[in-house]
Amino acid sequence: MNNRINTKMTTHQQKVVSNIQSFVKQKLANDFSGHDMAHIERVVRLAQLILEDEPNANYFVVILSAYLHDVIDEKVVFDVEVAIAQLHDFLQLQNISDDETQHIFDIIENMSYRKNLNHKRKLSLEGQIVQDADRLDALGAIGIGRTFYYGGHKHNIMHDPNTPPRTELTETSYKQPNTVINHFYEKLFLLKDMMNTTTGKKIAQQRHEFLVQFVKKFEKEWLGEN
């Protein structure tokens, strides 16, 4: 646990975070989709960065939600309902309030890109912070690496110029196989305009520009151009 967390929480809250870290490490130990513990730690650090400009947010709820946001995600777990039940049981053992537990579930069950395709889910300030932090890790140099890593994990081809990006996505169609490069157009290029917080928007703009330059170069090289 980093020192910034130590100074922002009570002794009990620090113990809960430590327990959560161990729980998440165990749940994501065998992940090879880019949703591993390294991703989680980056999202936590990004959430902390955003929190510096959001003094009214519940720091404890943000940190726990940032750590837990992928442990019930269908991209990561085999059975979502079982994962939800296990997480609920685990949180009950941590002696945190029912309101905090419900708040965490409200965030992690509604923050994903896919869950917001059919209609935008309303998130609390804490949820908006975690959503921004998670989306920021899909952008920039790390975002490029994770995109190709996940594409390979799902056996998707890198690129096909004859397969244009889809312009109308639903929660169902989003899960259908596609090319890695199309994912930039269908999701990643759109994220900078979906950020909730001032800090998130600023970082997203910088990382977005890196993505755009990368894809332009990739497509030129694909065609044999320099």
Return the ∠ at Cα 224 (arms to 222 and 226), rounded to 5°. Answer: 100
pLDDT of residue 134: 97
Residue-level pLDDT at 30 = 87
Q: Cβ contacts of residue 19 below 8 Å, gap of 6+?
A: 94
Q: So what's the pLDDT on residue 4?
A: 65
pLDDT tens, N- to C-terminus, the chain (226 residues): 566 666 788 999 999 999 999 999 999 998 888 899 999 999 999 999 999 999 999 999 999 999 999 999 888 888 999 999 999 999 999 999 999 999 999 999 999 998 888 888 899 999 999 999 999 999 999 999 999 999 999 999 999 999 999 988 888 888 888 999 999 999 999 999 999 999 999 999 999 999 999 999 999 999 998 8
pLDDT of residue 171: 80
pTM: 0.94
| DSSP label at residue 154 | T
Backbone torsion region of residue 140, taken as left when φ is above 0, otherwise alpha when ψ lies between -120 and 50, otherwise beta:
left
Measured CA to CA, the distance from residue 210 to residue 78 in angstroms comes to 34
- Predicted confidence at residue 2, as pLDDT, reads 63
Helix or strand or coil: residue 126? helix
Paired tokens of 153: 């994990």
**Angle at which helices 125-136 and 98-108 cross, to 10°:** 40
**Cα 100 to Cα 114: distance, rounded to the nearest angstrom:** 24
Q: What is the reported pLDDT for 34?
A: 87
CA distance 77 to 71: 7
What pLDDT is recorded for position 8? 84
